Structure 1
Amino acid sequence: MNKFKPTETPVKEVPLKAKKKAKPNKALRFATGIINGAFLSKENALAQVPFIFFIVFLCMLYISNSYYAEGMVRDINKTTNELKELRSEYITTKSDLMHASKQSEVAVIATAIGIEESTTPPSKIVVNNN
């Protein structure tokens, strides 16, 4: 006799999620490789030598630039102080000249030499063109 076999309803098995091992990201692996020196022991260490020289060159350039900047700051401060000194000397000299060129001071110096100050007012000279 033909009978249907009872069908079993398949039970879906829910697979348990396997815990993934947390792989460190690329940057962390790279940094760890640099710190422990593993990057030097690999076969491609020779391929990284130009990059290392480039980094060393940039460091030297950075250091020299900082020395140059410090020297420029020293020069600017020196020039600023010199400018202040020259400005004060200029003002002092200008003040002395103004004091020495006053009419009363010129009269004192002129009498010491033997020159007397004129007491008559200046007169007008008229020329006739005939």
Structure 2
Amino acid sequence: MILKLKIKVEEKQDNSQQVKEKKTAFKAVRDNIVGGKWIAKNLNFFLFVSVLAIVYIANGHMADRAIRDISKTQKEIKELQYEYKTIKSEVMFKSEEVQVLKAAEPLGLKISKEVPQRLVSEK
């Protein structure tokens, strides 16, 4: 019975010692992180990761802006193409002989029925 008690006492001491070791190890890690030692050691890495994050975000914004600009330019090009085709068809229509005659009538211009005369100069 005494042996059983000694074994139980030793087991409890071992368990309590393991718990104390775990607590001290946890406390050491916590003190390193909270105390700033770990952060101070890895400050360059944190700054590098921060710069990468900023560059990544900025790149996304610039890509969005470029896509919007491209879309806007494509819409403007389509509108200008439609305008060009419309104006071209109007010019083609107005340059027909019948349309030119209609436009010249209010000015008093008419097609001559006479054959043009050739002037000959004497040298």
* Coarse TM-score class (shorter-chain normalised): 0.5 to 0.7
The unaligned stretches of length 5 or more in structure 1 are 1-36
1:66 matched to 2:21? The reply is: no
The corresponding residue for 1:118 is 112
The unaligned stretches of length 5 or more in structure 2 are 1-29
RMSD, matched Cα: 2.4
Displacement of 1:77: 0.6
| Distance of 1:109 and 1:49 partners within structure 2 | 82
The corresponding residue for 1:76 is 70
Name the TM-score, length of structure 1 as normaliser: 0.61
Displacement of 1:122: 3.2
Over residues 51-98 of structure 1, what are the superposed CA-to-partner deviations in whole Å (9 max), with x where a residue is unaligned?
Answer: 101111111111111111111110011001101101110110111011
Displacement of 1:44: 4.3
Name the TM-score, length of structure 2 as normaliser: 0.64
Label 1:38 to 1:79 Cα distance change in 2 as closer, same or farther (>3 A): farther
Over residues 13-39 of structure 1, what are the superposed CA-to-partner deviations in whole Å (9 max), with x where a residue is unaligned?
Answer: xxxxxxxxxxxxxxxxxxxxxxxx998
Structure with the largest fraction of helix? 2
